[in-house]
Amino acid sequence: MKILIVYDSYFGNTKQVAEAIGEALYLQGSVELCRAPDVALEQLIGVNLLIVGSPTRAFRATKAIDRFLDSIPTGGLQGVKVLAFDTRISAVETSSRLLNVLAALFGCAAGPIGEKLKQKGGELLAPPEGFFVTDSEGPLKGDELQRAAEWVLRALDVPSHPGTMQHHRNETIRQTPFPC
């Protein structure tokens, strides 16, 4: 299976989630990670699984993620399985009631990313998911990297074993060149 993970990240948290997802998928095929501003449409050729992740900024995905999604031609994801995720501030951590209310009203990045992927013909394997940071610049909350690994394996119906992610971390970095 050819897997492409496209992400954007300002402070590195979404990048960490994308990498954890890539590592979890190590045994499923070739995994390529690419930041959204650097991705070329040709990289979609032959892709079986496309995963797109963005930080939530002002209740939506970043411009680079939107531009990437908009650049995919109509029907361009026919036959491609897709997944969407974001990072977002944990409502428990923030004391701002207003932010919580606005977030409930306007949502986060992952939902619209999933919608766009479906509009382009992709088959959404699981509901879009959010992973939590404790503050704008991070860090990610507790076990979010493990949760991300488990989320993607569950979406693909692959059993996950405790420690799988850590076990493959070094090998993945050594053997799978991420070009971006």
Ligand X SMILES: Cc1cc2nc3c(=O)[nH]c(=O)nc-3n(C[C@H](O)[C@H](O)[C@H](O)COP(=O)(O)O)c2cc1C
Binding region for ligand X (CB under 6 A)? 9-15, 55-59, 87-89, 103, 108, 133, 136, 138
> How many helical (H) and strand (E) elements, i.e. helices and strands, does the chain have?
6, 6
Strands 2-7 and 49-55: parallel
Least distance from C-beta 99 to ligand X, angstroms? 7
- Give the three-class secondary structure for 168: helix
- Minimal distance in Å, beta carbon 69 to ligand X? 17
β-pair partners for 170? none
Residue with tokens 């974001």, as numbered in its chain: 86
**Nearer to ligand X among residue 69 and residue 77 (C-beta):** 69
**Distance in angstroms between the alpha carbons of the first and the last residue of the chain:** 19
Is the separation of the CB atoms in 123 and 81 below 8 Å?
Answer: yes
Supply the minimum distance, in Å, between the C-beta of residue 127 and ligand X: 17
Minimum CB distance to ligand X smaller for 48 or for 146: 146
For ligand X, the closer of residues 100 and 176 by Cβ is: 100
CB of 56 to ligand X, least distance (A): 4
Nearer to ligand X, 2 or 57 (CB): 57
